[in-house]
Amino acid sequence: MPEFLHLLPPDEALKTWLTALPQPVEFNCERLDTAQALNRVLGEDITAPEALPPFPRSTVDGYAVHAASTFGATPSLPAYLDLQGEVRMGQEATLALEPAQAALIHTGGMIPDGADAVVMIEDTQRAHEGQIEVLKAVASGENILQAGEDVKAGQLVLPAGKRLRPQEIGGLMALGVTSVLVRKRPRVGIISTGDELISPDQQLEPGQVRDVNSYSLAALINRLGGEVSRQLLLPDDRQQLQPALKLAQAEDDVIVVTAGSSVSERDLTADTIAALGKPGVLVHGIQIKPGKPTILASAEGTPVLGLPGNPVSAFIIAGIFLPPLLQLLLGGAQNTPQAVVAASLTVNIASLAGREDFVPVRLQQEGEAWLAEPVYGRSNLIFTLVRADGLIRIPPAATGLDKGAQVMVHLF
């Protein structure tokens, strides 16, 4: 039987795969309403069409004043200012203030001409009709948000490649940018092979099992910002697999093939992928558990991921290799911080040195802390992953982890 003679460490395998892809990546873009662009990646630099705020605004409720007219003011020796009126919200401040004059203003209101500071309302008292007492001096610029203090007109506010979170959507709206060019979601074709597989809505006959992988992978791909372009179920038959792969290669940005892990199926998958073009199969076999028989390939510019057929391996491997691939195809930042939950391991876990192990764990709260309990189960059991909250990684240098060890859990 063919053995995997050259098992690459996962990091090296990933690097080999990504560097074999055509670079720089050519992006296809589409224009969307900004309100519909959450989680999409910008396809253009956004510069501010105008300053934000467009005019100086008060940051407090109070009185717009000449700061110099308040110098030395204290509760025992207040400054007396003539009240000239009120700046109405949403309207231009049409009055102009002279020294020793004040105008009532609300938070967000437009600073009138002449004023260079705002006295907070709690530092004032109404004196005679038409006059206020200022009990505390303000400096020039105090309690004012200057025009352009958030963003200057013409400033680059969001670079191409930025993924749009809720605050970016808000920021674009603040600038009146109501539509944006975003990068199209990479099209990912999923092909599941196996003579034993049937579609979940079909009647099960003895010896058959329902396809799991194409559905859990499709959900994962959607979550990662990809678009599932096809979801095919094929028997282990080169006559059917080869043309299906060719068509996916012509139409998709990424191909994911899940195959049975039997020798014959594995060979068939690797051979048909290799026949798609240069450079072909780059990695076949990785120093990882689960997922050793993984195939990483590139065929005339199309990345191909060949996954083991069993659901746990397929899902874990896809979760490791698809995020950086899709990030590359979308042109986003590669080194993004990964949020984890720190937890304490409930049992000893053994591991082979030289191999990277990923162990599904369930998290249980203990006071303020979390306990990570490995969810054991063969890699054929999809419900192993249903019972798990996340994965812990045992690095290649380790020969295991001890009970009580602090581990970082990557939530699914």
User: In this complex, which beta carbon is closest to its own copies, that of residue 115 or of residue 145?
Assistant: 145
Is 91 near its own copies (CB under 8 A)? yes
**By CB under 8 A, what part of segment 249-268 binds its own copies?**
260-265
Q: Of 24-32, 73-81, 220-228, 349-357, which segment contacts its own copies by CB under 8 A?
A: 220-228
Is 208 near its own copies (CB under 8 A)? yes
What x-and-dash track marks residues 174-203 binding its own copies by CB under 8 A?
Answer: xxxxx---------------xxxx--xx--
Is 340 near its own copies (CB under 8 A)? yes
Q: Least distance (Å) from its own copies to the CB of residue 99?
A: 24
**By CB under 8 A, what part of segment 314-333 binds its own copies?**
315
CA distance 105 to 98: 16
User: In this complex, which beta carbon is closest to its own copies, that of residue 28 or of residue 406?
Assistant: 406
Is 397 near its own copies (CB under 8 A)? no
Phi, psi (5° rounding) for residue 219? -65, -40
Q: How many residues line the site for its own copies (CB under 8 A)?
A: 107
Is 173 near its own copies (CB under 8 A)? yes
**By CB under 8 A, what part of segment 138-167 binds its own copies?**
145, 149-151, 157-158, 165-167
Is 54 near its own copies (CB under 8 A)? yes
Is 90 near its own copies (CB under 8 A)? yes
Is 35 near its own copies (CB under 8 A)? yes
Cβ-proximal residues to 367 (8 Å cutoff; 6+ apart), any chain: none
Q: Least distance (Å) from its own copies to the CB of residue 37?
A: 9
Place of tokens 């979390």: 370
**By CB under 8 A, what part of segment 347-386 binds its own copies?**
363, 365, 370, 377-378, 380-386
CA distance 192 to 196: 11
User: What would you measure as the largest C-alpha separation in the chain, in angstroms?
Assistant: 100
Is 10 near its own copies (CB under 8 A)? no
Cβ-proximal residues to 389 (8 Å cutoff; 6+ apart), any chain: 341, 361, 362, 363, 409, 411, 412
**Would you call the peptide bond into 186 cis, given omega within 30 degrees of 0 as the criterion?**
no
What x-and-dash track marks residues 267-296 binding its own copies by CB under 8 A?
Answer: ------------------------------
Cβ-proximal residues to 279 (8 Å cutoff; 6+ apart), any chain: 20, 298, 299
Query: Secondary structure of 185-245 in the HEC alphabet?
Result: CCEEEEEEECCCEECCCCCCCCCCEECCHHHHHHHHHHHCCCEEEEEEEECCCHHHHHHHH
CA distance 321 to 308: 13
Q: Least distance (Å) from its own copies to the CB of residue 278?
A: 31
Residue in 234, 225, 243 with CA at minimum distance from that of residue 187: 225
Is 122 near its own copies (CB under 8 A)? yes
Is 218 near its own copies (CB under 8 A)? yes
